[in-house]
Chains A and B, each alone.
Chain A
Amino acid sequence: GEDVEQSLFLSVREGDSSVINCTYTDSSSTYLYWYKQEPGAGLQLLTYIFSNMDMKQDQRLTVLLNKKDKHLSLRIADTQTGDSAIYFCADESNSGYSTLTFGKGTMLLVSP
């Protein structure tokens, strides 16, 4: 079945860049997504990328997509302590209808 995999934990220092990686299996996804979850909150959409694109930049966020290897990454430039959260990669379920398949999430810890 469909699967989305992420590393579970990443620790960086404030000011460094963070790179969160994700692999997915469903090659039919038209869009791929990155969400952020802070403690006690729901998921917040950070950005998404159309599957025909290789890269998308949005302020401090850069998404890279390697469709051949089914690899997606999220780079956060100048990481701040406020970026500490869990980051989820998601692809579109082939059953459609606003259904996403999420990875287990990567916990990003930013230390001062």
Chain B
Amino acid sequence: GQQVMQIPQYQHVQEGEDFTTYCNSSTTLSNIQWYKQRPGGHPVFLIQLVKSGEVKKQKRLTFQFGEAKKNSSLHITATQTTDVGTYFCAGVDDNAGNMLTFGGGTRLMVKP
């Protein structure tokens, strides 16, 4: 079945440094979504990417969808302590309806 992998699993950064998490799918995706989960909280939808090569920005967050629609990245510029949490990508397989398969997440810790 479809697998979605994320790296790194953990990332410690100093406040102000940049952060990137990478997501790779074993199959071609029809779309990819990104979620943020604060410690003890629930996933909060951030964005969906649909088109090959798509790039979307939300303030300090930049999301990319690969040309082959099998990988994606989330980049945070100048991290803040409020960015702390686990970032999950979740993909919809091109051939598997609308079922979301989540990656393992990247836990971001920011030192003030």
Q: Is the pairing of A and B real?
A: no
List the interface of chain A (C-beta within 8 A of B).
Answer: none
